[in-house]
Structure 1
C-alpha cells in the first residue's frame, strides 16, 4: 500500500480517481465473472459473463445507482427481504420508491421466493433478493418469478463475491448485481468501495454516467443526467488489483473452515444449535452464522473463552424505526424475527490457524455438553 501511494502520488498524470487503475480493477473483476459452467444465468446455455463492471463509492451506492439507472422512483415498489442490511431498504427509499418487505426462509435466512412473489403488485418495479452470510439466495427461482411476473431483478450480491450457484457467479443472475469492498467483505479493502456488474451494456452505460455527476466520459463538465459523486479511488483500485490474485486461495480457506465447523456442529441440531447448510454450491462464506436457541448465553460462553462473535441483524428491517413507516398494520415476518433472535456469527476469516479453528469449534460444542469432537481441523493453507 505504501509503495502504491508513492507511485500514484508521484505519477505525472496526478490522477487520483477514475484513472487507469480503476479501469484495470474493473477489467480484472469482469474477467473473474466468466461463467464457470456450461450454462449461464437461469440455466441458459451460452449466457455471457459481465458485459460491464462499474466501480463506485460503496455497495450501498451500487444499489442506488442501479435502481436509478433502472428508472425506479416515486410510485414504484421494490420487494426486499425483511432480514438483512439497512441498504436493502435505504437504497429504495433514497430513490423515492417504497420498500416492501418479504419474509425469509427459516433455515437459510435468505428471501423466500414464495413470500417475495406474494408481495408483488401492479406497482412492483423490481425484486431485490440478497445473499446472506454464507448462503446465496435461490436465484433460479427468482429469475423465473421476475420473467413470469414482468418485474426487474436486481441481485444484492454485496457479500457474495466469489460465490457460484449452478455454474453462474454471484452477481450475474439478475439484470445487475452489486459487490461491496468494505473491509469485512471477501475482497475487503482499507476504505469504502463497491461495484455494479451487469450483462446489459446500456444499463452499465447509465450507471457509469450516474456515478460521475451524469458525465459520459467524453467531455468534462457536460452533464447528460443528474448524477452522483460515487467515484473510485485510484490507490484503492491498485491495491484491489494486487489483492485479487489471492482471493481464490482465501475463499478456499474460508470454505474449508466453514465445512469443518458444519461437520463439528451437525450433532448439535437437536440441542438447539443449527449450522448453515453443508456443501459449496451456492455458498459464499462471507461469515459463518449459526442459529442458536440460547444465543446470548452461547455468546457469553464463547467470549469467556476468548472467542469474539457478532450479531449482524438484531432486528428485522421492518422493525427498525427507520423503516417502520413502510409497513402495514398487522403485517409480520415470523421467520425474520426468529432469525434476529437466534443468529450468531463465528470467526471464519482466512488467517485463522487450525488451532484457533479447533478452539472455536470445541468451545461451541462444550456449551452444548459435547466433548471435543472427533476429526481434524481443515487443512491449513496460506491466506
Structure 2
C-alpha cells in the first residue's frame, strides 16, 4: 500500500484566513441558503416536507437523543460483519464493514472530484444502518468545528461524559507527527461510552506517536486488536477551523474546484491546513490519524457530517449553479482521468445501490431527504 505522506503534504496546504466572524456566521449562511433548498425540495420527486429529516450539531441534540445515537453505534460495534471472514479477518462487526469500505477506496476518494459526493453517500449509508439495523430514530449529528475550536476537549462531543463520543486519550509522552502537534492525549480513550472499544482494522498509513502496532496484513484487513486512541487539543482547530475561516470558505470560494480543494486542504497556499485535515488530526492518534482507517473512530461520522454541512451551505448560496458541478481527477495522487458526473459511487459493502455522482449532489433528491439546522 503506498505511503500517504506525499498525498497528505498535498492535502495540508490551504490559505490561512485571519479575522473573526460572529459566533453564528456560518449558521447565518445556512439560514440564508435554506430558501433555495426549500425551493429544490418543492421540485423533488423523492423527498417532501413530511419525510424531511433534520441533522443537528451534537451540542444541540438533547441528552436522550445523544444516548440513543450512542446506543445505535454500540449496536453496530457488536453486530456481526456481513463481509467474508477469510477476505477481511479484521472485520469483526457491522461497524467494521464501513471501515473496510473506506480502506478499499481511500486513494480514489480524497483529493478527487468525488470526495464530497462519496462521503455524503457514505455518511448517509451509516445513518441508514443506525436506523434500519439498530433501531435508531434520529439523524446523523454533526460537529461544528468553529463552535468548539478554542478547546475541543470541553465540547459535549469530547468531554468524556456518558452523552459524549468519549473523551481524549490518556495523556502520555509523545511527539508531534509530520502533520500536527503533540496535543493533550496520545493514549487509550478511558472515559465515556467508547472507553472499552477495540479497534481491529489497520493501520495502513498511520501518523501517530507512539506508533500503533503493525497490521499482520499489508492491506490493513488483518485482525490487529488494540484500544481506541486520541490526541485531542486546540492546536489545529484554533488555527484552521474557526467560525471566521469556515464562513470565509463558504463566501470566498465561488467555484467548486477552489471550494473543495481548500476544504480538503489541497489548496496549495502557504503552510496552513484546511478544515478537513484539521478536524481529522485534531482527533488524531489511532485509528483517527490514518487516512485509510479513520472511520474506525466513531467521531469520524460527526466530522464528516460537518464537512457535508459546509458543502450543503456552500451549494445553497447559489443552488441552481452549484449542484451539478464537480472538479478534479479520480486519483488522490493526481493521476487518472477527470472525474465525471456520470461516474459511479459504489459502496456496496454497506449500501446496496450504486449511484452516479449526479444523483448525490442534492440533499433533497436521489436517496437523500435531509437538511442541516
Q: Is the TM value for this pair above 0.5? A: no
Higher RCO structure, 1 or 2 (CA under 8 Å, sep 6+): 2
Which has the larger share of strand? 1
Please give the TM-score of this superposition, normalised by the length of structure 2: 0.29
Question: Which of these two proteins has the greater Rg computed from alpha carbons?
Answer: 1
Please give the TM-score of this superposition, normalised by the length of structure 1: 0.28
